[in-house]
């Protein structure tokens, strides 16, 4: 197994550890940092999420640079990303840190684009490359999740809800990039919406 795939497997292994941290009782203790009280379980979960996000960035870069792209990587890498992010967003809703309607839109978009990618690969034999709006969506999503778990640490004293701001930036680019993906791949649906005889 090559290095990018090992990083992907590590990220998958981190997901149940991440879930376990957030499933533990929040009264295990708290950390007071920069004037912000953070439950220990959320602090550990945020660290795990950040580490897993770094492996996501690293495995793709290494695979492309060293020509180590494999079928396992094509399947497991995006699956691990979505499992990690969706898990984090669901727990943020449970903790009252993210609106359920925002998370529902993000989850629906991720599932829809994943399905679209499969259709495009089947029809055209090529993988849809991530465009800039999608990359902005992913980056803002990752940072939003981390700051929400950390109760906007470093920004609480000046009362800037950075996590919430990033979440809504993510929501905008989630919708925009999703619409862009479907518009650019509209030809795969031509048989469904063409003229009827």
CATH number at residue 163: 1.20.120.1760
Strand residue runs (E) in the chain: 30-33, 36-39
What is the tens place of the pLDDT at every residue in 13-67? 999 999 999 988 766 667 776 667 788 888 899 999 999 988 878 877 787 788 8
Q: Model's pTM, two decimal places?
A: 0.84
The rounded percent of the chain whose pLDDT value lies above 90 is 39
- Owning domain of residue 50: 3-187
The residue to which tokens 């492309």 are assigned: 64
**DSSP label at residue 98:** S
Number of folded domains in the chain? 1
- Residue identified by tokens 């465009």 is 131
In a domain, 7, yes or no: yes
From the centroid of its chain, how far is CA 79?
10
Torsion of CA 158, 47, 56, 174, to 10 degrees: -40
């Amino acid at each position: 197994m090559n290095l990018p795939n090992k990083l992907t497997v590590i990220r998958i292994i981190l997901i149940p550890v991440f879930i376990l941290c957030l499933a533990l009782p929040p009264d295990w203790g708290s950390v007071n940092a920069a004037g912000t009280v953070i439950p220990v379980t959320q602090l550990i979960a945020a660290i795990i999420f950040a580490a897993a996000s770094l492996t996501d960035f690293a495995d793709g870069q290494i695979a492309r640079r060293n020509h180590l792209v494999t079928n396992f990587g094509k399947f497991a890498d995006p699956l691990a990303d979505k499992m990690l992010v969706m898990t984090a967003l669901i727990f943020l809703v449970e903790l009252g840190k993210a609106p359920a309607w925002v998370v529902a839109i993000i989850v629906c978009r991720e599932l829809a684009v994943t399905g679209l990618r499969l259709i495009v690969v089947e029809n055209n034999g090529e993988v849809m490359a991530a465009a800039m709006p999608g990359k902005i969506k992913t980056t803002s999503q990752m940072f939003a999740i981390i700051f929400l778990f950390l109760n906007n640490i470093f920004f609480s004293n000046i009362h800037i809800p950075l996590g919430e701001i990033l979440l809504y930036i993510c929501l905008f680019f989630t919708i925009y990039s999703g619409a862009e993906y479907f518009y650019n791949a509209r030809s795969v649906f031509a048989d469904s919406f063409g003229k009827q005889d």
